[in-house]
Amino acid sequence: MKVRVLGSGAGGGFPQWNCNCSNCSRLRNGRINAVARTQSSIAVSTDANNWVLFNASPDIRTQIENFPAIQPKTGIRDTGIRAVILIDSQIDHTTGLLMLRESNKPLNIYCTEMVRQDLTTGFPVLKMLGDYCGVDQHGIPLDGQGFEIPGIDDLRFYSHALKSKAPPYSPHRHDPHEGDNIGVTIEQISSGRKLYYSPGLGAIEPHVRQAMQDADCILVDGTFWREDEMERAGISKKKASEMGHLPQSGDNGMISVLNRFPDTRKILIHINNTNPILDEDSDERRILESAGIEVARDGMEINL
């Protein structure tokens, strides 16, 4: 299984266009050992020709141009993207669908019923695409049943619901439903190797812990270091948990959770621009390294 990290940042990327926090200002001025990041998305394949795209960020055009393998150039209009799986309906994970409107065939999009509703009402991107390339929309089961995608050989996908909130534009923003946000296990059928992917993870429920335990590689939410990170940065009084993210630090934080899987490869993705782990010389980065936890970066390749 081949995994390409197309984007590793949280919403807004790094640096964020209007942010002058310590990380963003130091990156612009060349005073930090860090690299820029686009908004989070990954692509998965077994043959390096046919790819499943997980989420479609607003930065997708740049991400595709930086990844020649996903653009095979075998026809006048061509792409290696065979399907898109949407983890949720957030703007930073779905706006990029509009950049794919020039497709010469309907986009194969896999999402839960709740995400489909959001993307045909509050943010009707699926309806909008109907006037361009069209959409073949497929549901995602949440009952543990695996599903396969035509044209994607040797991969099976399993998903489960996560505790989360729908986006602000969702008709059920204040009425959470199963399927607003999901975690996905990607299994290579021939080898049995598994990747667990969850870029937005606010609580470690029993089924989440089991999926992590069964995985050979865990690629999960690394948005915030602290629960009160946004307040410390003078940006917002919202806590990490209020925004649906489990911070890395603290007694029950992501580091503590990942330490339970010493023999598993562990990688953080969806890193917010305020997170001190972006500074590769920071104490926080050294804490992660000592725990055997990696930090995803754009262009990172994972082979399982």
* Strand 301-303 relative to strand 2-7, pairing: antiparallel
The pLDDT of residue 136 is: 98
**pLDDT band with cut points at 50, 70 and 90 for residue 254:** very high
What was the pLDDT predicted at 174?
84
Domains and CATH numbers, the chain: 2-303 (3.60.15.10)
Each residue's pLDDT tens digit, 171-228 = 988 888 999 999 999 999 999 999 999 999 999 999 999 999 999 999 999 999 999 9
Give mean pLDDT, residues 67-91: 93
CB count, 10 Å around CB of 106? 14
165: pLDDT strictly greater than 90? no
Averaged over 69-96, what is the pLDDT?
A: 93
Per cent of the chain over pLDDT 70 is 100
CA distances, 65 to each of 40, 60, 108, 222 (Å):
16, 9, 21, 25
Q: What is the pLDDT of residue 46?
A: 97
Amino acid 75: pLDDT: 82
For 128-155, how does the pLDDT look when each residue is reduced to its tens digit (9 = 90+)? Answer: 999 999 999 999 999 888 999 999 999 9
Alpha helices in the chain (DSSP H): 22-28, 60-65, 91-94, 113-118, 125-129, 206-214, 229-232, 254-258, 283-290
Binned at pLDDT 50, 70 and 90, residue 72 comes out as confident
pLDDT given for residue 172 in this prediction:
86
CA distance 195 to 207: 15
- pLDDT of res. 144: 83
Sign of CA dihedral 126, 132, 133, 136: positive
Quickly tell me which residue has 């926080």 as its tokens: 284
Taking only the tens place, the pLDDT of each residue in 84-118 is 999 999 999 999 999 999 999 999 999 999 999 99
Q: What is the pLDDT of residue 73?
A: 77
pLDDT at position 124 over 90: yes
Q: Please give the helix or strand (H or E) that residue 4 lies within, else none.
A: strand 2-7
Residue range 54-75: average pLDDT? 93
pLDDT for 202 equals 93
